[in-house]
Structure 1
């Protein structure tokens, strides 16, 4: 699992992309991403942070 690819996917998710769209932009299949997610607690933590950033950006009051 290339770290640069993971970073690209997480950046897409953090800015509001779906997992499918972020994976497509990185050239990775969604199933591969979910496989990495299940195999690595580091990737799982990065994903949790990206989702939290997405939620915060959508719902934070200005």
Structure 2
């Protein structure tokens, strides 16, 4: 892939421009900081994949 064909995208966290190349080892994020911020959002359940819960919410249903 030549430089003209390098994929350009936006960091999901801060919207900075990122190129899909070895120059950006944390791609699709621009930095490790943005990568860790995103991980924290998933861990705190601020990001979710839509759908029904896999398990019932209360223990009485087991």
TM-score, length-scaled by structure 2: 0.31
Higher helix share: 1
TM-score w.r.t. structure 1 length? 0.31
- Whichever of the two has the greater Rg, that structure is 2
